Structure 1
Amino acid sequence: MDTPSPAVVTVRSLTKRFGPDGPPALDALDAEILPGEITGLVGPDGAGKTTLIRLMTGLMAPTEGHVEVFGNDTRTRAQAVQEAIGYMPQRFGLYEDLSVLENLTLYAELRGLPEQDRPEVFAELLRFTDLARFTARLAGRLSGGMKQKLGLACALLKKPRLLLLDEPGVGVDPISRRELWSMVENLTREGIAVVWSTAYLDEAEACSRVLLLNEGKLLFAGPPGQLTGRTRGRVFRVSGFQGRKRDVLAGLLEDPLVSDGVIQGEALRLVLRQESPPERLQGMVMVPAEPRFEDSFVDLLGGGPGGRSVLAENTREFPKDDPKPAIEARGLTRMFGDFTAAADITFSVPRGEIFGLLGPNGAGKSTTFKMLCGLLKPTRGEGRVAGFDLRRDGANARNRLGYMAQKFSLYGDLSVAQNLDFFAGVYGLDRASRRARTRMMTEIFDLGPYARQSARDLPLGLKQRLALACSVMHEPDVLFLDEPTSGVDPITRREFWTHINGLVERGVSVLVTTHFMDEAEYCDRISLIYRGRSIALGSPDDLKASARSDDLPDPTMEDAFIALIRKSGADGEPKGGTVS
């Protein structure tokens, strides 16, 4: 007699197509989800992650094959499935004009939670998510991390046996992501099965098991350490090179023996296709590095996109020896009533440099960002872009900068082609330049197949490509990128940074915010903002060195971020200053 499977979810020969002639979004998948474990669901944009989660909820029917949840076929017993699960969708599904408590009450009604049980359940969830102090706050006024905690609370209203989380960490700072992770780990100790879809591969590395999808196919299923081990002996930290690090990296990424590479402070991190280094690495200092899940993920998918940026090659060169800063903040302060969102922010960014603004959700990064873009008037202080004072010469300053907003800010009702044409017109390009630049952006970002599609219906990675294309339409010499790769998979992120690095080599100056701590390593300098103030200013290596201790002899950028925030909080009011 066969022993019944302990699996919570069983997927057999699962295929899903959208349209009779379309390629399969999922192609003949076999997988299992086990109780008391976090199963990571990873893969590039369009790999089929969200489709698989929706099939597990019973909200969507397979084209072929079967999905069973607790023995219930999702085709025939969808209601029984939905009563046993909690589901947190990728997009914030709560009501922004309702308070925290009102959202909980609404979802309790929708989930059929008896009224007499609600006070006890609400109190437990508010304690669990640390939202008890914010019950009257509108959901739309919560920080990114708090929104995700509220979404998690709503998914847990009727204690589920299976929790499906579709990218819960998107747009959330490292401290809030660690808190979310800790909460979910506590749930698995009660035997709850969790599926955690993620673009953050450090999260995938902490899962019990991982399902890696690409173009609808399952490439790997098992403990993440098994995949990470594929690149052991092929990962190196490289230093001692001559020339600018971005230019050196671009050349190395064109070498067929280099699978992947990124900037890591003043050094480079390379993944080779073989253990012996290529000739162009001769003379450089190569130190073996511990492989990461992301190294093997990119390697398994065939490696990164290379180091050549067609966008940069088609952008004019700006003089790097201009003594005037490209971006300058002098005592920038912004108050909303009695609340100080940003206080005395001061830094300057020279030509051809990437400057990062880091900090927890709600720290004041976006406020600082908007003041320097001319979108928000400072209460005190001044900002300059390309030498223009934003108060007196705002129009001239805006003509010199490109801006990519944190949230997709293009026109959803317009097609891809119409958005490109519209922004070319907004930036004042003449008819001939407009046609030429629109055609060029369509080719560079591979937007041709989607030219007539509404922007709102694009997958996230394509939306971000379109947003970047629109922001550089007029060849700006200053680029403002507010979390440009939030929620985007590692391959697409590398594509973005190939373009950004290439533009910087042409003399473009970049101000960027990010919650990906490996991306923070790509910056030349960083200002760490907390409670509206700059608490640290220096290079990535400076910030990591400041967090070094006996317990953390070789801190990561995330370790440094958390250590500096906690030190500032423990000391009382945050202090400005620099890290030398």
Structure 2
Amino acid sequence: MSGLDATVAARQLRKTFPSPTGGVIRAVSDISLTIRRGELTALVGPDGAGKTTLMRMLAGLLTPDSGSLHVLDVDVTRSPQTVQDRISYMPQRFGLYEDLSVQENLDLYADLHGVPRNVRRERFKRMLDMTDMTRFIDRPAGKLSGGMKQKLGLACTLVRPPELLLLDEPSVGVDPLSRRDLWKIVQQLVDDEGLSVIVSTAYMDEAGRCAQVYVMHEGRLLAQGTPASLRKDASGLTYTATPPEGMPARDLQARLIDAGALIIDAVPRGGAVSFIRQPDADEAHLSTLLQDAHPEPREEALEDAFMMLLRSQQTSARRQGTARAGMQVHGTPKQVARDDIQGAAPVIVVRDLVRKFGDFTAVARTSFDVARGEIFGLLGPNGAGKTTTFRMLCGLLPATSGHLEVAGVDLRTARAQARARIGYVSQKFALYGNLTVRENLEFFGGAYGLRGDALRRRIDDTIAQFDLDPAATSGILPGGYKQRLAMAAGVLHEPDILFLDEPTSGIDPLARRAFWRTITALAQSGVTIVVTTHFMEEAEYCDRIAIQDAGELLALGTPQDVRAQAGGSAGADMNSAFIAIVEQERAKRHRPSVGAAS
């Protein structure tokens, strides 16, 4: 490919960082790639794959240790400023000024990039129209929802028309509606302006939109090609299994994913389980494993090929003794019969729950129950009120009115008593980055009242269960391992109820599978799980889900119930069902009432 056809040309690119424990960390190792102009290109890979390091080198913010790197036909190591003048880069944590309005943020970034005054009005109008934020120009950025902040960040990134746009996981932490809107904007830029876009993403459906996909792992390039060419590796190995009556799909998924010799991957989807069999899996053994579940062949997806690559690397590393085995599920308490769980009184009771902030109603008369051992999902767009509901359930925020009972305790009168029986894992890593894994667990164990031998036993058991290195410094762990540590701290005191606030936000599919395998095991032991998530595939692990928007409860029931409410079949895609329910209810709210003056 000639230089005129390539937006990026890298040869034998390397980048290392000093390790806190001595030696070096190889963030990018001997990567060679050529990315075409005018296309949408994806970088995918698990935590620690090197995607962000590569992005920062492309943006001229990091200098390679060795190799050659040309961006827009410019040697970026020699002339980083020349490249930076022609590209736009949106990092994972884009710096909006929350006290400034939408318009003031746009003005500030236009000033920083030297955008001439005579072109600003037209550029601002295009960005505001494209992001549908014209009506919010006077609102402070700090008052925007997460999805709107991401759209404003993208608009600020694009105040100067670039030749290349770099997006580092732009849709992390945003809901499906906002994610869809972001990708409409990106696709419009590619189609209308011929813009070259390179995006790193943890969502395989997003990677599937791209012309080319580069799969990274531990700093190396594992595979590259079109989504269609990569999918071929999974051809003939993908199936859907329907569990027998009364068995949650997640229990069948747990059984399959534990059978590593036969199954590469398994995930609940549409009330069934999508799985990938090993190419050499013995038919008789596979039939025994599935028991009375009924498998049917299905079309392979890009995520199937991605998981096959990651599992292959994981297996190779285990054979060489260079990798940890992944999150474990041994050591969990004895499984509790589902009949015993379902027959017990609810452990969470919510009746007419209201929370107001001044004149603003964040949660409006919400009611539901959660049973012991149930996995209950709270879903909703950014700004829907689910985080406020979640914080009230945890005892972190008092309700304005209504009845809220957790673990048999009225939270309006005895919040401290209830908190002793719950565990909490926040969306943002809230542990102490300068302490080791063991030191963090010792601190949080002490805060939960554990002492002496009891504390040491629980720490040792939890470190083994979550496969953590006790001597590792917490702040430098990859995202997936940080979430493991946060989860370990949350269950250290063996709580009755575990609250998980977007626990898998920003971590890759491999880490998400392991995380949910542990959650399933905890639920099987009788622990009640309440979880918020923006990954709609994770709603399939839940016994029931509630969807909120504008503080109101829009849907409540099993995943099958919710898909049916959306107007689709019981096996329909949960992402589509979520968007349909939210948009249907928003249309009703904006519909003029009968008899209104014309």
Question: In structure 2, what is the Cα distance between the partners aligned to 1:23 and 1:411?
Answer: 22
Q: Which amino acid counterpart does residue 380 of structure 1 have in structure 2?
A: S
Q: Which amino acid counterpart does residue 488 of structure 2 have in structure 1?
A: A
User: 1:265: Cα distance to partner?
Assistant: 4.8
**362 and 507 in structure 1: CA distance in 2 versus 1, 3 angstrom threshold:** same
**140 and 439 in structure 1: CA distance in 2 versus 1, 3 angstrom threshold:** farther
TM-score by structure 2 length? 0.90
TM-score by structure 1 length? 0.93
Q: CA offsets, 1:349-383, max 9 Å, x none?
A: 11111111111100111011011111111111121
Bigger mean CA deviation after superposition, 403-412 or 514-523: 403-412
Residue aligning to 1:193 = 196
**83 and 424 in structure 1: CA distance in 2 versus 1, 3 angstrom threshold:** same
Match of 2:54 among 45, 52, 55: 52
Whether 1:405 aligns to 2:404 is no
Determine if contact 2:234/2:304 at 8 Å carries over to the other structure. yes
May I ask how many residue pairs the two structures share in their alignment?
569
Structure 1: gaps spanning 5 or more residues: 575-580
Q: CA offsets, 1:509-553, max 9 Å, x none?
A: 11111110110111111111111111111111122223345xx89
Whether 1:264 aligns to 2:269 is yes
Whether 1:218 aligns to 2:227 is no
**343 and 39 in structure 1: CA distance in 2 versus 1, 3 angstrom threshold:** same
Residue aligning to 2:110 = 108
Residue aligning to 1:346 = 367
Question: In structure 1, what is the Cα distance between the partners aligned to 2:571 and 2:2?
Answer: 47
**477 and 542 in structure 1: CA distance in 2 versus 1, 3 angstrom threshold:** same
Residue aligning to 2:255 = 251
Whether 1:328 aligns to 2:349 is yes
Q: What secondary structure sits across from 1:13 in the alignment?
A: strand
**460 and 3 in structure 1: CA distance in 2 versus 1, 3 angstrom threshold:** closer
Residue aligning to 1:96 = 98
Q: Which amino acid counterpart does residue 128 of structure 2 have in structure 1?
A: L
Determine if contact 2:329/2:517 at 8 Å carries over to the other structure. no
Residue aligning to 1:558 = 575
Residue aligning to 2:321 = none
Question: In structure 1, what is the Cα distance between the partners aligned to 2:428 and 2:298?
Answer: 35
Question: In structure 2, what is the Cα distance between the partners aligned to 1:44 and 1:413?
Answer: 24
Determine if contact 2:385/2:551 at 8 Å carries over to the other structure. yes
User: 1:449: Cα distance to partner?
Assistant: 6.3
1:269-308 counterparts in 2 under 5 A? Answer: 269-274=274-279, 277=283, 278-280=286-288, 281-302=290-311
Determine if contact 2:102/2:140 at 8 Å carries over to the other structure. yes
**153 and 511 in structure 1: CA distance in 2 versus 1, 3 angstrom threshold:** same
User: 1:23: Cα distance to partner?
Assistant: 4.2
Residue aligning to 1:159 = 161
Residue aligning to 2:6 = 7
Q: Which amino acid counterpart does residue 443 of structure 2 have in structure 1?
A: F
**304 and 61 in structure 1: CA distance in 2 versus 1, 3 angstrom threshold:** closer
Whether 1:130 aligns to 2:132 is yes
Question: In structure 1, what is the Cα distance between the partners aligned to 2:384 and 2:332?
Answer: 37
User: 1:568: Cα distance to partner?
Assistant: 0.8
Residue aligning to 1:173 = 175
Question: In structure 2, what is the Cα distance between the partners aligned to 1:316 and 1:298?
Answer: 30
Q: Which amino acid counterpart does residue 16 of structure 1 have in structure 2?
A: K
Q: Which amino acid counterpart does residue 536 of structure 1 have in structure 2?
A: A
**RMSD over aligned Cα atoms:** 2.4
Determine if contact 1:254/1:308 at 8 Å carries over to the other structure. no
Question: In structure 1, what is the Cα distance between the partners aligned to 2:314 and 2:590?
Answer: 44
1:429-578 counterparts in 2 under 5 A? Answer: 429-448=450-469, 451=472, 453=473, 455-548=474-567, 555-572=572-589
Q: CA offsets, 1:170-195, max 9 Å, x none?
A: 00000110100000001112111101
Question: In structure 2, what is the Cα distance between the partners aligned to 1:265 and 1:389?
Answer: 36
Determine if contact 1:212/1:221 at 8 Å carries over to the other structure. yes
**113 and 183 in structure 1: CA distance in 2 versus 1, 3 angstrom threshold:** same
Determine if contact 1:308/1:498 at 8 Å carries over to the other structure. no
Q: Which amino acid counterpart does residue 218 of structure 1 have in structure 2?
A: L
Question: In structure 1, what is the Cα distance between the partners aligned to 2:341 and 2:313?
Answer: 28
Determine if contact 2:332/2:525 at 8 Å carries over to the other structure. no
Q: Which amino acid counterpart does residue 387 of structure 1 have in structure 2?
A: G
User: 1:249: Cα distance to partner?
Assistant: 3.0
Q: What secondary structure sits across from 1:41 in the alignment?
A: strand
**321 and 126 in structure 1: CA distance in 2 versus 1, 3 angstrom threshold:** closer
Q: Which amino acid counterpart does residue 279 of structure 1 have in structure 2?
A: S
Whether 1:205 aligns to 2:208 is yes
User: 1:464: Cα distance to partner?
Assistant: 1.2
Residue aligning to 2:331 = 313
**482 and 431 in structure 1: CA distance in 2 versus 1, 3 angstrom threshold:** same
Question: In structure 1, what is the Cα distance between the partners aligned to 2:516 and 2:220?
Answer: 27
Structure 2: gaps spanning 5 or more residues: 316-324, 592-598
The percentage of counterpart residues that share the same residue type is 49
Q: Which amino acid counterpart does residue 17 of structure 2 have in structure 1?
A: F
